[in-house]
A = this chain, B = another copy of it.
């Protein structure tokens, strides 16, 4: 773990510390010949400036914090957020930043995780639902941040969100154009913006095509109850011919419930999901769903954050990512 310090390099090169520093940092006030000579020595000795020394001097850690909220789901790293995390990591690596991961926000200790309290990050990316007080405090403390898929809209914060409403509209419209009229809407609780907007998109599409919504067809009780939701739905006297399920994770439960009822997809019931997680493509039948560009959400979040960090007065922007319908085999065409 011991590796040379700038002092040893200077000793070997028989020059001062500052000269070595200049060579490393590409400063102009150094002759080309000494730079090359020093860089050679640096390479030979495998020297890299210590993050601690550099950081202390520059007041920059080159670390970015990524904070997930545990309350969100039992599984904080579900397939959806994992992909976002991968996008973040890749983009940070490109920009030579480290990723400091935090899955569990401590209730005590000022509510700030260690990495923030000790100023070990230059900024943070907040994923999904976060306590409002927490976000506000961060903003008060002027900590550069960007929100990804937040629970609700924070004005004057930089955010990366999905075009949930449009996506839901597209999904619902797709079912309608396939001849479906009795369409159910299934979703986790609507306490999050994402799902509220997906519900809004569903409503908008139904209204737009002059279709009425049977209130029994709207099930918004949360992911855990996905199985029961669907079961109940399909045992209704007059059951829907299609379901728009606002979350592919939920669809996994739905598939199971349907199978246990000995019904077939899409013959007996059509389904469109949302998110396009890895499972959706290998499900049987493969799920028609709205693709969300998860890695891209992550990389955009990073680029925006680094921009805020380097450009103090950058204004808060909200990036809305479009989604795309991926047609697979879970929807029956009633027009045929």
Contact = CB atoms under 8 A, between A and B. Distances in A.
Interface residues of A, number: 61
A2 B140 CA distance: 11
A53 to B, nearest CB: 6
A99 B259 CA distance: 42
Contacts of A255: 284
A83 B196 CA distance: 29
Contact of A110 (B46, B55, B96, B227): B46
Nearest to A123: B1
Contacts of A282: 227, 252-253, 256
A96 B66 CA distance: 17
Contacts of A260: 284
A98 interface: yes
A117 interface: yes
Contact of A56 (B53, B110, B144, B253): B53
B2 A75 contact: no
Contact of A77 (B1, B50, B82): B82
Nearest to A309: B1
Interface string A84-127: 01100110010010111111101000100111011110000000
Contacts of A90: 103-104
Contacts of A142: 1-2
A185 B259 CA distance: 27
A143 interface: yes
A109 to B, nearest CB: 9
Contact of A119 (B50, B101, B252, B253): B50
A118 B51 contact: yes
Contacts of A63: 100, 120
A30 to B, nearest CB: 22
Contacts of A252: 279, 282
Contact of A1 (B49, B119, B278): B119
A334 interface: no
Nearest to A110: B46
A51 B120 contact: yes
Given A48-B118, A90-B104, A99-B102, 11 more contacts: A1-B143, A46-B110, A51-B61, A51-B118, A76-B86, A85-B101, A89-B104, A93-B106, A99-B101, A101-B101, A253-B282
18 contacts: A1-B144, A3-B119, A52-B55, A63-B100, A77-B77, A77-B82, A77-B86, A85-B101, A89-B102, A93-B102, A93-B114, A100-B100, A101-B101, A252-B282, A253-B282, A256-B283, A256-B284, A260-B284
Interface of A: 1-3, 46, 48-56, 61-63, 66, 75-77, 79, 82-83, 85-86, 89-90, 93, 96, 98-104, 106, 110, 113-115, 117-120, 141-144, 227, 252-253, 255-256, 259-260, 278-279, 282-284
9 shortest interchain CB distances as A-B pairs: A51-B118, A51-B120, A77-B82, A48-B117, A256-B284, A52-B56, A259-B284, A101-B101, A99-B101
